[in-house]
Amino acid sequence: MVIYIIGMRRIAYIALSIFIVTVLAAAFNLAIQKRSDVTAAHTDELKKAATGKAPYDEKIFGAESFTLPNGMKAVVIPAHRAPVVTHMVWYKVGAADEPRGKSGIAHFVEHLMFKGTDAYPVGEFSRIVRQLGGNHNAMTGQDFTAYHQSVAKEHLETMMRLEADRMRGLIFPPDDVDSERLVVIEERRQVTENDPRGYFFEQMNAALFVNHPYQHPTIGWLHEVEALSRDDAIAFYNTHYAPNNAILVVAGDITAEELYPMAMAIYGDIPARAVPERNWTAVPPLLGTQRLVLHHDSIRQPLVRRAYRVPSARQDKDDSLALTVLASILGDGMNARFYRSLVIEQRLASSAGFGYGGTAWDDGRVVMSATPLEGISPEAVEAAMEEELRSLIRDGITDEELQSARTRLIDAAIFSRDSLTGPAMIFGYTLVTGGTIDDVEYWQRDIAGVTASQIHDVAARYLDPDNMKRRPYVTGYLLPANQSGAQDTPPPAPAPEEQAE
Amino acid sequence: MIRYIFLCFAFILISSPATLRAEINTDGRILDIQQVTSDQGITAWLVEDHSLPIIAMRFSFTGAGAAGDPADKQGLSNMVATMLDQGAGDYDSQTFQLLLDDHNITLGFGAGRDDFGGSLKMLRHHQDLAFDLLRLALTKPRFDEEPLERMRNAALSRIRNSLSNPRWIAARIMNDTVFDGHPYALNAGGTLQTIGRIDDAAMRDVVEKRLGRDNLVISIVGAISADEVKDRLDALFGDLPAQAELTPAETIKLQNQGKTVLYEHDIPQTIIQIIQPGIARDDPDYYKAAIMNFILGGSGFGSRLTEEIREKRGLTYGISSGFFNLEHAKAFQISTSTQNDNVADMLTLIRAEIDMMRDTEPAKEEVADAKAYLIGSLPLRLASTDSIAGLIQNMQLDHLPPDYLDRRAAKLDAVTVQDVQYIARKMLAPDALTTILVGRPGNITPSVIIETLPHVE
């Protein structure tokens, strides 16, 4: 089984998929889902939904929640179609909470969570889950670390016992810590050192988040990962792994009434302890234009990318919703503005995208990217992207664009329920980044409320390429080694005495 | 690839499970699969389920895949797949895409080496439009010049992008090496040269000749009844020719067995692909092999390869084994990667695990654990309407009966420790391993050094 990391790309992917799933989760009349006879009259239901009072004012998932006396929150997402459950524990600690110089420790601890306790020695956790026909995994992001298993309902209690046991009882066997550090370094080589795109994304991100903990890759900088010690891991674990810093999410054939006594018995007696507040350093005003150019031998297809820091859902819910609909208008499919303009009309690129990741504790990101056609300069593609933004800021969006984006998002809601882990991921990720259950449940109503002027407004405030004072952005070019000369060979490294001054 | 993943039960471990949509029915069947035959004699498998207003469908034209593409038009079927939803009937590319987007209809086509197929997913209340768009795409594709040029450009970008992906490079070399002389050795995604040669006429030829009613396999899951499916089948596929004109590929024995093939690439971690002859899905020993694979490298954590190489020594982030089955070739693969300096040690360790699997019986617990997982995890694989559709489609493509899922547990359960060693001795072939290396591995003496990537430029 793969323990995986959510690095920059992974975050972008997950954020996008969560966003999509969340969007899909929106706004489908529950009456439709509850009907036993679905073979007739959907259209009528939909019309009713569209014309009745507060058509989207119903919960999508019907989740229930409670909090244990030790501060551990729990969310239950009932889905009784089958006798299976997904069990997740989300910790409100991620790469952004790492001490300076210890990048990668959050992810390293996630790996070490599989290295055993007194009760269940190394290897036992996976073996038990496997014997029960279950699947399990874990993931680390900037804002969170999460562990999850999917099993038949009757094995839920065993999963809870295993997870509770390692919330407090990890033993960090020294040999296993050493071999696992090598595994993590191999993981980093696989995603970054072996792939110029990995470097490119990592460095763009560092430029976007100057002086903010998001500037560090989740997997950690190589030289810092190599130096992570067992003591570092123990200290991080002891500081952050506590029930009052965790959220329990269970989806499937279960109710809050059934879960509560089990949760009390299994997680309830783990003592709370003081967990440090998040006091993250902020990005200072960056007035210069930041452009990152990476030439690499193995690159044959150039890539142009621009990333903006924008509000996350926690920072500004209304702006975040408007950015969500905006991203659909600009980036969803071959009729979205970016693709239509850069690929179809201007013939500058073979692909063009625009996405917004707003599920974050601190700033969210808007990322736009395009792959220039042969013979088209990255500057030309960048200029075309900027023109799209300028025309958006100048003219706004049409009612037709707004209407079809909203309908598209809302009408797709039903698909998100066709999954067990999907809803659990949505709730876990939303809550761990400061959102609420209602943010998920009433997503449909919230999306339906977004107006054209709101969208116009967020575009002007956050994406204006000509107003660097508002929000900083970074533009990146990933290019073949020989393009535009100059940087074919990097300058020789300075001699040690020069570095030491 | 979907089919490949299905064949390797153990690989499923990595996929994320979702809702079990079909529990044990009252009649004891795991999935209630109906076989529906239309008036025109077109057959589909159906799992009817009204818990959500969603319909998912898979369709495959067997033998219509990339293995039928001429060498000077590599990438042809793949280009057809990308072009079928770029305009059909009266709808030009943009209109067609807009209809899909605005109604949340997911329509996609794909060309494997063996089969050409696709999937369609929609909300029930958009089914008339969705099915009609699919019918148009299959029977009245436009292949207009404007989208064709765009799709050519996209294909060229994709190929150029692949050149900085060492895993893709390893796969490319592996196919070229072990299928040498066979159409499977060609690049199904096309080359930088051949993409430009694919024109309207070549694509029409694929659609008109390879897509027939006699090589069509269909699965449908969701909020639709058997009667509705019957009508849909004729409307959708009734206009296709009764018989496809196919040039069947020949069966091929893996080539270049025992060789170590190196492609030097300036990266710190070498990609390692090991491949050897495998076993057919309908071989009576298949279940023995499935359990053997689970123990050796199929299960991720807990597998011998992962425990010895990752957990004990930290040599890799991931190592796994699995079956790679095509219609005309059956293979077994081990995939991993490690720092350049460790490659020689890694190969020695893998070889030792293969030998151990052959030389000694596995522990009873290992076999019991494998069975417990492979049997017990089935409910998690019956995830969404979509994943059930994929599952039953693959059952059909593998010529398995509709009650296969009900009989599978007993077949796995019958496998003994002796059986596992028996199949390991019979199948695992340490001297026939073809090893592909991409990177700058130390202490390796390759038998072949690849200078130029085959079928790429």
Q: What is the pLDDT of residues B182-214, one digit of tens each?
A: 999 999 999 999 999 999 999 999 999 999 999
pLDDT of residue B27: 61
Tell me the per-residue pLDDT of B91-103, one tens digit each, with 9 for 90 and over: 999 999 999 999 9
> Does the pLDDT of residue A388 top 50, yes or no?
yes
Top-confidence residue, A191 or B51: A191
Look at chain B and count its residues.
457
- Chain B residues whose CB is inside 8 A of the A340 CB are 94
pLDDT at B383: 66
Span A49-62, average pLDDT: 67
Of residues B17 and A53, the one with the higher pLDDT is A53
Do the chains contact at B339 and A344, CB–CB below 8 Å?
A: no
* Alpha-carbon torsion angle A164, A168, A173, A176, nearest 10: 50
Closest to A371 (Cβ–Cβ): which among B125, B157, B380? B157
More confident residue, B52 or A295: A295
- The answer to whether B75 faces chain A, any CB pair under 8 Å, is no
* In chain B, residues 82-111 whose CB comes closer than 8 Å to chain A: 93-94, 97-98, 100-104
Considering chain A, what percentage of its residues have pLDDT values greater than 90? 77
Q: Is residue B143 within 8 Å of residue B200, measured between CB atoms?
A: yes
Q: Which residues of A touch B373 (CB under 8 A)?
A: 130-131, 133
What ipTM describes this predicted complex?
0.91
Cβ(B283)–Cβ(B335) below 8 Å? no
Give the sheet arrangement for strand A364-372, strand by strand: A290-296, A473-480, A303-310, A364-372, A349-357
Q: According to the 3-state scheme, what is the secondary structure of B15-75?
A: CCCCCCCCCCCCCCCCCCCEEEECCCCCEEEEEECCCCCEEEEEEEECCCCHHHCCHHHCC
Chain B contact set for A81 (CB, 8 A): 19-21, 51
Of the candidates A38, A131, A340, the beta carbon closest to that of B372 is on A131
Position A416 confidence tier, pLDDT thresholds 50, 70, 90: confident
| Binding-face residues of B in 135-174 toward A, CB within 8 A | 146, 150, 153-154, 156-157, 160-161, 163-166
pLDDT digits (tens, 9 = 90+) for A238-290: 999 999 999 999 999 999 999 999 999 999 999 999 999 999 999 998 888 89
For the CA atoms of A103, A104, A105, A107, the dihedral, rounded to the nearest 10 degrees, stands at: 150
Are B125 and A298 an interchain contact pair (Cβ–Cβ within 8 Å)? no
- Which DSSP category does B297 fall into? I
CB atoms under 10 Å from CB of A389, counted, come to 22
Q: Domain coordinates of chain B in residue numbers?
A: 31-237, 260-377+402-450
Contacts of A158 in chain B (CB under 8 A): none
Burial bucket for residue A307 (CB in 10 Å: 0-12, 13-18, 19+): buried
- Partner A contacted by B311 (CB < 8 A): yes
Please tell me which residue of chain B has the smallest CA distance to A370: B157
More confident residue, B122 or B52: B122
- Whether residue B7 has pLDDT greater than 90: no
Q: Is B270 helix (H, G, I), strand (E, B) or coil?
A: strand
CB atoms within 10 A of CB A355: 21
Q: Which CATH superfamily does the domain covering A290-426+433-480 fall into?
A: Metalloenzyme, LuxS/M16 peptidase-like (3.30.830.10)
Report d(CA A90, CA A112) in Å as an integer: 16
> Residues with Cβ < 8 Å from B354, sequence gap 6 or more?
B296, B428, B430, B433
Q: Which residue of B103, B228, B272, B317 to mutate against A (max A Cβ within 10 Å)?
A: B317
User: Which residues lie below 8 Å from residue A447, measured CB to CB, with a gap of 6+?
Assistant: A23, A26, A27, A56, A321, A324, A325, A406, A409, A410
How far apart (Å, rounded) are the C-alpha atoms in residues B236 and B44? 12
pLDDT the model gives residue A500: 31
Average pLDDT over residues A437-458: 96
**What average pLDDT does this structure show over A430-439?**
97
The sign of the dihedral angle between the CA atoms of A478, A480, A486, A489 is positive
Chain B contact set for A193 (CB, 8 A): 267-269
Contacts of B124 in chain A (CB under 8 A): 38, 42
Q: Are strands A290-296 and A473-480 parallel, antiparallel or unpaired?
A: parallel
A346's CB contacts (< 8 A; 6+ apart) are A384
Residue A206, number of CB atoms within 10 A of its CB: 18
| Number of alpha helices (DSSP H) and beta strands (DSSP E) in chain A | 20, 12
Q: Considering the domain B260-377+402-450, what is its CATH architecture?
A: 2-Layer Sandwich (3.30)
Phi, then psi, of B19 in degrees rounded to 5: -65, 135
Under an 8 A CB cutoff, do A421 and B54 touch?
no
Task: Kindly report the number of other CB atoms within 10 A of residue B452's CB atom.
Answer: 7
Residues A397 and A452: beta-carbon distance below 8 Å: yes
Q: Which fold has domain B31-237?
A: Cytochrome Bc1 Complex; Chain A, domain 1 (3.30.830)
Confidence of residue A31 (pLDDT cuts 50, 70, 90): very low
How much is the pLDDT for A468?
A: 67
pLDDT for res A470: 67
Q: What's residue A22's pLDDT?
A: 32
The stretch B272-277 carries a mean pLDDT of 98
Chain B, window 391-450: residues with a beta carbon less than 8 angstroms from a chain A beta carbon: none
Give dist(CA A138, CA A86) in Å, integer: 13
pLDDT of residue A278: 93
Percent of chain B with pLDDT over 70: 94
Whole-number mean pLDDT of chain B?
A: 93
In chain A, ranges of CATH 3.30.830.10 domains:
3-266, 290-426+433-480
Among A416-425, A463-472, B311-320, name the one with the lowest average pLDDT. A463-472
Q: Is A146 helix (H, G, I), strand (E, B) or coil?
A: strand
Q: Which CATH architecture has domain A3-266?
A: 2-Layer Sandwich (3.30)
Taking CB atoms and an 8 Å limit, are A407 and B23 in contact across chains?
no
B407-457 confidence digits (pLDDT tens): 999 999 999 999 999 999 999 999 999 999 999 999 999 999 999 999 999
Check whether A435 has a pLDDT greater than 70. yes
Higher pLDDT, A444 or A113: A113
Catalytic residue annotation of A: 110
Q: Confirm whether B31-237 and B260-377+402-450 share one CATH topology.
A: yes
For residues B342-354, average pLDDT: 98
Of A20-29, A212-221, A321-330, A447-456, the one with minimum mean pLDDT is: A20-29
| Whether residue A48 has pLDDT greater than 70 | no
Helix, strand, or coil (residue B333)? strand
In a mutational test of the A interface, the residue from B94, B95, B125, B164 whose CB has the highest number of chain A CBs within 10 Å is: B164
Using the structure block, give the residue that is written with the tokens 């991409």: B438
Question: For A441-468, what is the mean pLDDT?
Answer: 94
Q: What single letter denotes the amino acid at residue A149?
A: Q
CA distances from B10 to A1, B291, B293, B320, B323 (A): 10, 9, 8, 10, 10
Indicate whether A499 pLDDT > 70. no
Confidence of residue A9 (pLDDT cuts 50, 70, 90): very low
Distances in whole angstroms, Cα of residue A41 to Cα of each of A35, B230, B385? 11, 21, 22
Name the least confident of B10-14, B323-327, B356-360: B10-14
Partner A contacted by B27 (CB < 8 A):
no
Rg (CA), chain A: 24
Chain B residues with beta carbon closer than 8 angstroms to that of A374: 156
Q: Using CA atoms, how far apart are residues B103 and B88, in angstroms rounded to an integer?
A: 17
The predicted model gives B171-182 an average pLDDT of: 98
Per-residue pLDDT at A52 exceeds 70: no
pLDDT above 60 for A43: no
Comparing alpha-carbon positions, the chain A residue that sits nearest to B336 is A190
Q: Amino acid identity, residue B141?
A: P
Q: Residues A341-352: pLDDT tens digits?
A: 999 999 999 999
pLDDT value at residue B52: 87
Compute φ and ψ for B449, nearest 5 degrees: -115, 125
Give the Å distances, CA to CA, from A172 to A104, A108, A186, A238, B159.
17, 11, 20, 12, 44
Q: Are A76 and A256 in contact (CB under 8 A)?
A: yes
Give the helix ranges, DSSP H, for A209-273. 222-226, 230-240, 256-266
What are B62-88's pLDDT values in tens digits? 999 999 999 999 999 999 999 999 999
Q: Does B452 touch chain A (CB under 8 A)?
A: no
Cα distance from A320 to chain B (closest Cα, Å)? Answer: 22
**pLDDT attached to residue B134:** 98
